[in-house]
Amino acid sequence: MANNRSGFHPIFFTGLGVCLALALFLGVIWFRQGGPQDREFAAKVEMLRLATQMRLTLTSASETAIRAVLVSTDQASVFAEQVRTAENEVENDRQQLAQLLLEHGESAEKALFAQFTQAFDAYRQVDVTLLGLAVQNTNVKAFTLAFGPASKAFDQMTSALNRLVSANAGGPVATEVSLAAIEAQTHALKIQTLLAPHIAEAEDAKMDQLEAAMSEEDAKVRLSFERLSGLGGLKERAVLEEAQKAYAGFSAVKSDILALSRENTNVRSMSMSLDQKRKVSAACEEALDALRQHLHQALTRDSVVNPRRLTPGK
């Protein structure tokens, strides 16, 4: 497993796996052949195993949630489902641990478990929102439209205007056609260059400013088309209509882009993963680590007081 946000080296997980297997083996032996005190000891071993398994599963779930946020395809839905499955596994283990603590736990262990339960509830609530946003991919979809259909429509408009200028070159309205065409292309290009910043923007106020700037440029494009339409003696009016149709297509796609950009699901999910998700993950990990440490110390203390437990079968 690759290094993860929690900072654990792969050998950490290998060691935990070995400890889990050993703890389960010893716990079964002690439980089967020991008396009440040995069964208490076996219960502690099982509690440590469950807490460790929950820690491992949560770490894996956190890594997968990051993939769901970062991926730019429908694979996000697959990762989101994997996260939900892992969280259900943690919840199942948590319920088993709760029952064991009720029967065999110390007050300090119950308090640490309560801290984890509270943190895990917050963790799952964050993921409901985070994963819901991640799978929508609205910013990615907006970028796809901006550099696909919107760019194509802009190129079609530009091509038609260039042909219109060529058709009227040397004619009585050549200068007016050339100037109006250049102005239409220039202002439409400004709109196009504002799309990407809008998609990447996280704040509504700044998006408002960008949209206001686009509206100003749009008005100038339409004014240029009106000037072209009003020219007497204009040749190839069908080409002008082609340019206007292309710009109308560009404007329609632009509206779709702005709507998707406003949802901001990729930007919001990334922000949540770096802030809220990181905090609730750390709270879960800290509570589980503290519980595991307490259980380990209790097992070590009990083994020193009752050394026969170190040699099962004797």
Whole-model pTM: value is 0.69
Q: Identify which of 155, 179, 165 has the alpha carbon closest to the alpha carbon of residue 250.
A: 155
What SS3 state is found at 73? Answer: coil
Q: Does domain 138-265 have CATH number 3.30.70?
A: no
CA distance 314 to 310: 9
With tokens 């820690």, the residue in question is 55
Report the alpha-carbon distance of residue 55 to residue 47 in Å, rounded. Answer: 12
Q: What is the pLDDT of residues 12-34, one digit of tens each?
A: 444 455 455 445 544 444 444 44
pLDDT digit string, tens, across residues 181-197: 999 999 999 999 999 99
- Would the CATH topology of 10-136+273-310 be identical to that of 138-265? yes
Check if the beta carbon of residue 250 is closer than 8 Å to that of residue 153.
yes
Listed range (71-85, 160-174, 224-238, 248-262) with the worst mean pLDDT: 71-85
What are 194-236's pLDDT values in tens digits? Answer: 999 999 998 999 999 999 999 999 999 999 999 999 988 899 9
- Fold exhibited by the domain 10-136+273-310: Four Helix Bundle (Hemerythrin (Met), subunit A) (1.20.120)
Q: How far apart are CA 64 and CA 214, in angstroms?
A: 38
The yes-or-no verdict on residue 111 having pLDDT over 90 is: yes
Burial label for 59, CB within 10 Å (0-12, 13-18, 19+), is buried
Domain boundaries, the chain: 10-136+273-310, 138-265
CB 277 within 8 A of CB 126: yes
pLDDT at 314: 38
Residue linked to tokens 């106020």: 205
Neighbour tally for 296: CB within 10 Å = 16
pLDDT one-digit tens code per residue, 140-160? 899 999 999 999 999 999 999
Q: List, for residues 282-292, the tens digit of each pLDDT value.
A: 999 999 999 99
Band (pLDDT 50/70/90 cuts) for residue 37 is: low
pLDDT classification of 306: cutoffs 50, 70, 90: low
In percent, the amount of the chain with pLDDT more than 90 equals 62
Least Cα distance to 250 among 158, 161, 165 occurs for: 158
